[in-house]
Copies of this chain bind each other. A is one copy, B any other.
Amino acid sequence: MTAATPAPAPFEAEFVAALTAMFEERIAFNHLLGLRIDTLAAEGVSGHLAMRPEFIGHFVHQRLHGGVISATLDAMAGLAVMAAIGARHLDEAPLDRLRRFGKLGTIDLRIDYLRPAIGERFTLRAEVLRLGSRVATTRMSFADAAGKLLATGSSAYIVS
């Protein structure tokens, strides 16, 4: 779909470090969950989550709680929007770009649960389907370590 789009300039180390610190540390609930960023690009972001006993939703099956899935996919979708906005404003200083994220707000979220989430480690992806001047729409996925799709999502954000 975006084959003809030129590859965006890579982010500066300063921007990546500041965005990572904000996402993984300063957003306290992301820190509580231990959600970590793996890749950051304008077209999409990825991350991972390690299973913990306190994330269990179904004690008999040792299944991950659906709320951990919805919370982390919501967070990853927001990160994808930040990366897309960051790429659109590469002319600005890194910290000025970060300041733009203060206006970002989730409008709504949909999660489709496909399969029971059982495993030691999960991988998350989010991509921006469209970044408009007012609204961004994202798609997300949650998979196990073998790449099996466990949940998908869709989310809308207000961006300015």
Known: A68-B71, A70-B70. A59 touches B27 (CB 8 A): yes
Nearest to A27 among chain B residues (CB) is: B57
User: From residue 19 to 55 of chain A, which have CB atoms closer than 8 A to chain B?
Assistant: 26-33, 53-55
Tell me, rounded to whole Å, the shortest Cβ–Cβ distance linking A99 to chain B. Answer: 10
Nearest to A160 among chain B residues (CB) is: B134
A78–B63 CA distance with the chains assembled, in angstroms = 15
Q: How many residues of A contact B (CB 8 A)?
A: 53
A66-B78, A70-B70 known; 20 new pairs, CB 8 Å cut-off, are A1-B147, A1-B149, A28-B65, A29-B55, A33-B67, A67-B70, A67-B72, A67-B75, A70-B74, A70-B109, A107-B107, A107-B112, A107-B113, A108-B108, A109-B111, A110-B154, A112-B129, A134-B134, A135-B158, A156-B156
